[in-house]
Amino acid sequence: MESIHPVVNLRKNTAAKIAMNIPFDRTRFLKYFLGVLAFTALLFLVAVFGFDYEMTTADPFCAPIAAALLAYFLHLMFWPGDE
């Protein structure tokens, strides 16, 4: 059921238009995300065992968020252009 209020309809339409213009390819993103996660795990292993780094409580929670952001950036950076 649609809302009668015009401001609510405007917000829904604007959000839908913005979401439609954001490029996203799920398979490409997952490929980059898994690669970035593997690289992050390797970096943590080197830091912990090679340099005696002590992981903080934020590291396991923030690393996947940062990996997702970096993977999306890489996914956009290597997006095939119009040829």
Model pTM? Answer: 0.70
**Lowest-confidence pick of 35-39, 65-69, 77-81:** 77-81
* Angstrom distance (rounded) from CA 74 to CA 49: 28
Looking at the chain, how many residues does it have? Answer: 83
In this prediction, residue 66 carries a pLDDT of 95
Q: For all residues of the chain together, what is the average pLDDT?
A: 82
Q: Check if the beta carbon of residue 31 is closer than 8 Å to that of residue 38.
A: no
Residue, of 15 and 68, whose pLDDT is higher? 68
Structural domain boundaries in the chain: 24-83
Percentage of the chain modeled with pLDDT above 90: 52
* Angstrom distance (rounded) from CA 80 to CA 83: 8
Using the structure block, give the residue that is written with the tokens 């059921």: 1
In this prediction, residue 83 carries a pLDDT of 42
C-beta atoms surrounding 53 within 10 Å:
14
Q: Check if the beta carbon of residue 54 is closer than 8 Å to that of residue 31.
A: no
